[in-house]
Structure 1
Amino acid sequence: MGDIMKKVEIGDILKYKYLENVLYNPTGSIFAYNVALADEKKNTYKRDVWAVKDGKPFQLTSTLEASVSFWENDEELIINRKAPEDEKFEGTELYSISLGGGEAKLWAKLPVSLGNIKKISEGLYVSTAQIEEKDPDAYLDSEEVRTKKKEEKKTNLESDYDVFTEVPYWGNGSGVTEGKRNALFIIKRIDKNSETGFELKRITDPDFNVYDFKLDGKKIYFTGAKASVIPDFYSDLFTLDVEDMQIESIYDRHDMGIESFEVMDGKAYVFALDYKTYGINESPYLFKVQDNELVKVEEYHPSHSRGNSVLSDVSLGGGRQNKLLNEDGKPVYYTLSTVEDHSAISRIDLESGLVQHVLDLSGSIVFFDIVKDTFALCYIAGDKLPEIYTVDKNKLGTVEINDQFHYTPPRYIEDMKQITEHNCALLEDVYVAEPRRIDYRSEGLELHGWVLLPENFDQSKKYPAVLDIHGGPRCVYGEVFFHEMQVWASKGFVVMFTNIKGSDGRGDEFADIRGNYGGIDFNNLMDFVDAVIKEYPSIDESRICETGGSYGGFMTNWIVTHTDRFCCAASQRSISNWVSMSYISDIGPYFGPDQCGIAYDDYYGKLDAKKLWDHSPLKYVDDARTPTLFLHSDEDYRCPLPEAMQMMQAMTVRGVETRMIVFHGENHELSRGGKPMHRIRRLNEITGWFEKHIS
């Protein structure tokens, strides 16, 4: 028997430092980033700004709650202040802080809520901001007019109701979106001595939505589309010349969804798709934009997804996942990629389409930035919380990744230097369960998952277990520190998790389960549980709990209506009825039909209620026997609250033990980005439910 170590506790959520948004200055000599920490009393997160120079981190702000925005120059960082709740200012306050020392100073006070801001030249900037189509130039109002409009709105009871004419009319995390557009703004500084000395000019039409923009010299490239009553997925590409302020379309066929794009020396490259082969979750191909045509770069094959879809509950705001560099006159695109069960930094030559992986690690590279030759990145390993690391790309070479998806990359490499120690002390003398891989075969597929074992695991004893199912479904679990799983392992559970068909990281064909929800995925999960029990027969089969959120919540609802093998379940932000979900959710009208196997060209056609209903757990609720806890948020517009309400009520009236917890003021991101005390209550509820039903 080994020495008993300290345990991972539910309340550790209040201790973790959540790292966000690393950003280099123009010459790459310094980078800044955010550190978010839970504020228990205010039930929110406080953000401070840190910087790293000569490999040494130091804190820039402590009393001013703000986030990194952009670099004005090599020594001056612009940060975006979060206004306290008791302040009524609804615009943007930007502060300037010098790396040479001194307090942050108010730099700009603007009457719009700005998105991403980029510097064009001295005193000239570009940004997006949300406007209302019916009052697109409200930003020009004087303070007197602005106050008068607010009073009139109250007097006319305008705040008492919403009028919906378009779909979606709300968005998860953003509330009501009806009539709200994302506009492009040019911002010009006309008085260096005044924080209000800026001139704002809206560039795009009131009924146009801007999706993304890039700078290329004196031109701004942007994608977007005219607002429509229903989403059509397609977008076009435009340029704005900042000298004559003329907009020109360079791709306006409106027949492709431009997922992202890059520009260098007047040449535009887009990652785009038509959704016709694998539906909504299809991976885009690479195209060059030439003479209003998209010319496919044939050598580029999206076998691994761009972006990081490795899940974790110890990361909040994220940060950059890609960046374009000029290497010897070539446009080279560095991007995070999801490779089976981990993330890598990939290098894509936009001219040739050649893809090489330059940094391939188990776990999760959450975000990065690169200037010249050095990456600064945030990384989560299986045995460590997030920290910032640097690595010289010239020491990395390239990694050839086996497309058979059966390899384990290293956890660390020799040339990767850990820069920060924000979280290191929190795991000293703490038992952190090591992910132990289990390979298994199911439905003709080679799959694998992991188990976390309790401290001093003894095969001669009997243990309860938890099966945890990820969301998406096009996301992945990996060998990363996952707080909730470590909590359960610390409480004596064997924790099981896996990536079944439908998960990301293995290409579109593997990720495609349209029309097969509750079929092959369900069988994969049951085969995985069987494989774990075979490997660890000390698991008590009468005391296996199950949980999952989003798609994992759907699967939880499906499991409790199709098997009695689990002693209890916790269904989080779930789907129970594809008919209702499809016509309530912010993504429902296309996501629901798509995932239930309805053809792409008929999402908005005839209502195929049979297909939607056949894949709905609610249809099979007469067979439910498993005690089930439901957890949902009242502002979850992705998987709306009625999905849990229907399932809970249907099970309760049929005599099944249920309990439902509704979190007010939270959305679909409760488990990852919810208010700290709500996250603690959530995990206490689930853990308590499990412990009740294994006793």
Structure 2
Amino acid sequence: MSKQAFVAEDLFRMRFVGHPVLAPSGQEFLFVQTHIDEEENGYQATIEKFTGQAVVSFTRREGKGNVRDSAPAWSPDGKQIAFLSNRSGKNQVWLDGKSEPLTDLPQGVSSFVWAPDGKGLYLVAKEVTAEPQFRKGATVRRITKLRYKANGTGYLDGYPTQLWYLDLASKDVQRLTSGDYNCSQPAVSPCGRYLAFVSNRAEDQLKTLNDIWLLDLKTKQLRNLTGGLGSSGSPRWLPDGQHLVYVGHQKGIYPGGYPELRQIDLASGENINLMPNFPNYLDNSIGGDTRFDNGNTGPKPTADGQQIYFVATVGGSSYLFCLDYTTGAVSKVFGEGQMVITSFDVQAGQLVVNVATPSTPGDLWWGPLGGELKQITSLNRELFQDKYIGWPEVVHFTHPDGAQLEGWLIKPLGYVEGDTYPLVMEIHGGPHTTFGNAFFHEWQMLAGHGFAVLYTNPRGSLGYGEEFARSVVGDWCGIDAEDLQFMAEEAAKLPWVDKARIGVTGGSQGGYFTNWLISHTNMFAAAVTQRSMSNLYSKYGVADNGWNGDRYGMGGRDLWDDEDFIMERSPMRYARNVKTPTLIIHSDQDYRCPLEQGEQWYVALKRLGVTVEMLLFHGENHELSRSGRPANRIVRLEGILDWFQRYLG
């Protein structure tokens, strides 16, 4: 039977798994299953339970609306299950078997953890404080902070995120932290007396680093454990209650820097790197456009503290690793070849992992640590079995300066040796992210409609060592853009690639590179630039990360001292060179790469007589391609395909 091409509307038929959590026994686990509701133009998520024999529903959809259940968590004794749900409006904590939520906080609950004795929950939620009062009917906001908006949130309401304790018996909720600071990622000590959490409590708003803090729940004393020396997050207790491990470093503001697995001795304050020779990037940095998984990627100490498990990115794949706490030896526990582990859990000698590959968005595997795992879910098997899924072929490039670069090629549906085909080069954002061995609906759709797809990891990408990642700091659209053009030119030499029909597309930093490439070479016959950057000088002042992330990425160069260099690395300066037919895709609530970046590029190209159109999505933000309204995601995919069919077909 001949295979069919993926189409944009197949998104409605896909199912996604994420956030697997093992019971204390290790013999059962919970996970979140997400699907897209075409009628509601939104997302539905339920919690499912694997009993050791079969998957059964733990929560069910009730009525209409975009109800999403998430973040399931077993009580320490395994007898109760708490989870988050927006079924009553905002996200609140629910307990299994209850018809009403445990919490009713005005701004909802963003996350929670169980107390070690199972008698309560520690919550992360906003503290509603008094708002400034203006004249009745006025629509005004007083802004006093440097960071006043955030992509996906909008203009910040000014309410600080605090930590709270919910007593399950009395239902009383007690606020534990105070002040105009945000707190997150609580971790309770085994004895229940101490609460570690993440917060930036610096008075200087230009200081953006988070620290690990320790709250003594008995004396209420606060202690900064990391001292603002570098990025810090994901605190986890070792069972002795005297040591914390976390992910971070002590390198200050350090774009592209690799986080380390570090340990804090609470008695002495000593802070050490537990794996000084580990070369890989901690966490999974590989993106995808069909993923709904915010589960654990580590660190996860075992109950006896002898092992610490974590996910790390190796080139275009990510695998599960283990640190032997006694010997310091690090070993790979699970993963081989072209795959991406997006989350995992370990309990009582059992392991569950969510494994994505180029041919599946992700499925759950379960079994004994060190033994053979069994595939538990295969939610997309029926849909995918009749679809053309081009398996990416790994391609290695040697840059003229000797740098080793990695990419992948997907051949089109119906490929015949001796024929030639149009090719689309896809460019990732970041710049400190990674393309790799994950399923991309967009790429497979293009391949199914006759386009070869090339995707690569230029310098600046994660997964190839810290030096590789940091080589672009202060040199955006320098060596990274050279890498991209070089790899596109090398691919154009392949006998089956039609070098007159090569297109380019990318989003965010990938859109920035797209704009740069079409203003520096005419090798591309069509371009789709998405949520892009065109003028770094103006972006410094309008993006939620412009004054910090972009400035640090540009090596600290600032508006008043380095105006010429900032404009030199802005595609806008070279707009007069563009001849490539260009489609601009942007959203009006994108605060990461604000709409004005796309508008500037559109107006410039239009004035200069370039063939250009814009798809402007209302009510969407920077995450349109990954979590936007489904109808808009479909229109976006169809727009990309249509543009390349028009100019490369």
One-letter amino acid of the counterpart of residue 251, structure 1 = L
Q: How does 1:505-524 map to 2 (within 5 A)?
A: 505-512=463-470, 513-524=472-483
One-letter amino acid of the counterpart of residue 515, structure 1 = G
Determine the C-alpha separation between the residues in 2 that align with 1:287 and 1:71: 27
One-letter amino acid of the counterpart of residue 152, structure 2 = G
Q: Give the equivalent residue in structure 1 for 2:93.
A: 94
Q: Give the equivalent residue in structure 2 for 1:303.
A: 279
Is 1:369 aligned with 2:361?
A: no
Post-superposition shift, 1:358? Answer: 1.4
Is 1:157 aligned with 2:159?
A: no
Post-superposition shift, 1:551? Answer: 1.0
Kindly tell me: are residues 37 and 690 of structure 1, through their superposed partners in 2, closer, same or farther at Cα, counting changes over 3 Å? same
Residue 360 of structure 1 is aligned with which of 326, 330, 335? 335
Post-superposition shift, 1:245? Answer: 5.2
Q: How does 1:284-295 map to 2 (within 5 A)?
A: 284-290=259-265, 293-295=269-271
Residue 214 of structure 1 is aligned with which of 169, 179, 187? 187
Residue 168 of structure 2 is aligned with which of 178, 185, 189? 189
Is 1:114 aligned with 2:117?
A: no
Q: Give the equivalent residue in structure 1 for 2:255.
A: 280
Kindly tell me: are residues 315 and 287 of structure 1, through their superposed partners in 2, closer, same or farther at Cα, counting changes over 3 Å? closer
Preserved contact between residue 426 and residue 455 of structure 2 (Cα < 8 Å) = yes
One-letter amino acid of the counterpart of residue 555, structure 1 = F
Q: Give the equivalent residue in structure 1 for 2:230.
A: 256
Q: Give the equivalent residue in structure 1 for 2:127.
A: 131
Q: How does 1:35-50 map to 2 (within 5 A)?
A: 35-50=33-48
Indicate the SS of the match to 2:429.
Answer: coil
Is 1:643 aligned with 2:566?
A: no
Post-superposition shift, 1:351? Answer: 6.6
Kindly tell me: are residues 34 and 228 of structure 1, through their superposed partners in 2, closer, same or farther at Cα, counting changes over 3 Å? same
Preserved contact between residue 302 and residue 347 of structure 2 (Cα < 8 Å) = no
Indicate the SS of the match to 2:604.
Answer: helix
Is 1:30 aligned with 2:3?
A: no
Q: Give the equivalent residue in structure 1 for 2:81.
A: 77
Indicate the SS of the match to 1:515.
Answer: coil
Determine the C-alpha separation between the residues in 2 that align with 1:501 and 1:254: 28
Q: Deviations over 1:290-328 (max 9, x none)?
A: 457443337523521111111111102431111422365
Is 1:586 aligned with 2:544?
A: yes
Q: How does 1:139-150 map to 2 (within 5 A)?
A: none
Q: Deviations over 1:264-294 (max 9, x none)?
A: 2221234333445x82331233443345744
Post-superposition shift, 1:440? Answer: 1.6
Determine the C-alpha separation between the residues in 2 that align with 1:114 and 1:13: 29
One-letter amino acid of the counterpart of residue 58, structure 1 = V
One-letter amino acid of the counterpart of residue 157, structure 1 = G
Post-superposition shift, 1:436? Answer: 1.3
One-letter amino acid of the counterpart of residue 281, structure 1 = G
Determine the C-alpha separation between the residues in 2 that align with 1:214 and 1:190: 21
Q: How does 1:174-573 map to 2 (within 5 A)?
A: 174-177=153-156, 179-191=158-170, 198-216=171-189, 217-218=191-192, 219-226=194-201, 228=203, 230-242=205-217, 244=218, 246-249=220-223, 251=225, 253-264=227-238, 265-276=241-252, 279-290=254-265, 293-297=269-273, 299-326=275-302, 328-330=304-306, 332-349=307-324, 353-361=328-336, 362-395=338-371, 415-442=372-399, 443-512=401-470, 513-534=472-493, 536-573=494-531
Kindly tell me: are residues 39 and 111 of structure 1, through their superposed partners in 2, closer, same or farther at Cα, counting changes over 3 Å? same
Preserved contact between residue 413 and residue 449 of structure 2 (Cα < 8 Å) = no
TM-score, length of structure 1 as denominator length: 0.86
Q: Give the equivalent residue in structure 2 for 1:56.
A: 54
One-letter amino acid of the counterpart of residue 381, structure 1 = T
Preserved contact between residue 69 and residue 116 of structure 1 (Cα < 8 Å) = no
Determine the C-alpha separation between the residues in 2 that align with 1:31 and 1:525: 43
Post-superposition shift, 1:211? Answer: 3.4
Determine the C-alpha separation between the residues in 2 that align with 1:339 and 1:115: 31
Indicate the SS of the match to 2:547.
Answer: helix
Bigger mean CA deviation after superposition, 609-618 or 69-78: 69-78
Post-superposition shift, 1:38? Answer: 0.7
Indicate the SS of the match to 1:544.
Answer: strand
Preserved contact between residue 166 and residue 173 of structure 2 (Cα < 8 Å) = yes
TM-score, length of structure 2 as denominator length: 0.92
Post-superposition shift, 1:569? Answer: 0.2
Kindly tell me: are residues 32 and 293 of structure 1, through their superposed partners in 2, closer, same or farther at Cα, counting changes over 3 Å? same
Determine the C-alpha separation between the residues in 1 that align with 2:357 and 2:388: 15
Determine the C-alpha separation between the residues in 2 that align with 1:524 and 1:564: 16
The structure where strand makes up a greater share of residues is 1
Post-superposition shift, 1:178? Answer: 5.3
Determine the C-alpha separation between the residues in 2 that align with 1:623 and 1:645: 18
Determine the C-alpha separation between the residues in 2 that align with 1:581 and 1:292: 44
Determine the C-alpha separation between the residues in 2 that align with 1:328 and 1:245: 28
Q: Give the equivalent residue in structure 2 for 1:166.
A: 145
Post-superposition shift, 1:591? Answer: 1.5
Q: Give the equivalent residue in structure 1 for 2:19.
A: 21
Q: Give the equivalent residue in structure 2 for 1:627.
A: 581
Post-superposition shift, 1:260? Answer: 3.2
Bigger mean CA deviation after superposition, 364-373 or 125-134: 125-134
Kindly tell me: are residues 170 and 317 of structure 1, through their superposed partners in 2, closer, same or farther at Cα, counting changes over 3 Å? farther
Preserved contact between residue 47 and residue 58 of structure 2 (Cα < 8 Å) = yes
One-letter amino acid of the counterpart of residue 69, structure 1 = P
Determine the C-alpha separation between the residues in 1 that align with 2:270 and 2:346: 29
Long gaps (5+) in structure 1: 99-103, 136-151, 192-197, 396-414
Indicate the SS of the match to 2:145.
Answer: coil
Determine the C-alpha separation between the residues in 2 that align with 1:394 and 1:317: 24
Number of equivalences:
633
Preserved contact between residue 568 and residue 693 of structure 1 (Cα < 8 Å) = yes
Q: How does 1:585-624 map to 2 (within 5 A)?
A: 585-598=543-556, 606-624=560-578
Q: Give the equivalent residue in structure 1 for 2:617.
A: 663
| Pairwise CA RMSD | 2.4
One-letter amino acid of the counterpart of residue 282, structure 1 = G
Preserved contact between residue 27 and residue 350 of structure 2 (Cα < 8 Å) = no
Q: Deviations over 1:388-445 (max 9, x none)?
A: 11142233xxxxxxxxxxxxxxxxxxx2311012111111132211111222211311
